[in-house]
Amino acid sequence: MSGVDSDKPVETVWAGDWLTMKRQGRWEFVSRARGIRAAVILAVDDGHVLLVDQYRAALGRHCLELPAGLVGDGGSDEPATVAAARELEEETGYRAERFEDCGDFYSSPGMASEGFTLIRAHGLTRMGDGGGVAEENITVHRVPLDGVAHYIAAKRAEGMAMDVKLLLLLGAGLLKAG
């Protein structure tokens, strides 16, 4: 079954270096320019999960997130697992023995066509400090899985923004609450 206006042409309203604003019938949405995708890494090792925080201009504050990066920085036909390996080491300083593709997901489908491939990293080895490249100023957090809900709550209380993908770590606890 098709949706309302799905038979209408997609028009580009505005295009920048990284984002494109589009319209299809009465619907407006944003997409990444040039078909850029993202890889999000779920890196769990020895009962700990790796999280990162960095300043996000769109939010005007730091945001706690799973490590992630753009697919295609290493070439336009780059597999998501290759991007995940690069981004995991750049952002966190950890290298993984292997990666598992957990599928594609969409974080805000009502307003953005952007999606990401969730990649699970297995067999982590710390290679360096991480922190990203250039001026990313990424802070790495190695958080015990059994304390992740408390950790996230404490960071929220400090005023840090939370990426929706952190719900992956909170899901079971949220279902038990109430």
- Residue 132 backbone dihedrals phi, psi, to 5 degrees: 85, -170
In sequence order, the 6+-apart residues with CB closer than 8 A to the CB of 116 are 37, 38, 39, 40, 68, 104, 105, 106, 107, 165
Query: What pLDDT is recorded for position 84?
Result: 97
The reply to whether 80 and 16 lie within a common domain is no
**CB-CB contact of 88 with 96 (8 Å):** yes
The reply to whether 109 and 30 lie within a common domain is no
- Which residue range forms the structural domain that includes residue 164? 36-170
Do the domain assignments include residue 178? no
pLDDT tens for 24-33 read: 999 999 998 8
Query: What pLDDT is recorded for position 29?
Result: 92
Do the domain assignments include residue 150? yes
The reply to whether 14 and 93 lie within a common domain is no
The Cα 170–Cα 178 span in angstroms is: 14
Name the H helices within the chain: 80-92, 148-157, 167-176
At 166, which CATH number?
A: 3.90.79.10
The Cα 141–Cα 138 span in angstroms is: 10
Do the domain assignments include residue 117? yes
pLDDT along the chain (178 residues), means of 10: 84 93 94 88 95 95 96 77 96 97 92 92 95 89 95 96 92 61
**CB-CB contact of 29 with 113 (8 Å):** yes
Burial zone of 10 (CB within 10 Å; 0-12 exposed, 13-18 middle, 19+ buried): middle
Query: What pLDDT is recorded for position 116?
Result: 94
Beta bridge partners of 10: 24
- Residue 76 backbone dihedrals phi, psi, to 5 degrees: -65, -25
The reply to whether 19 and 50 lie within a common domain is no
pLDDT tens for 53-77 read: 999 999 999 999 999 999 986 556 8
Residues comprising the chain, all counted:
178
The reply to whether 71 and 119 lie within a common domain is yes
Query: What pLDDT is recorded for position 40?
Result: 97
Other Cβ atoms closer than 10 A to 163: 19
Q: Which residue has the tokens 């957990």?
A: 102
Query: What pLDDT is recorded for position 35?
Result: 80
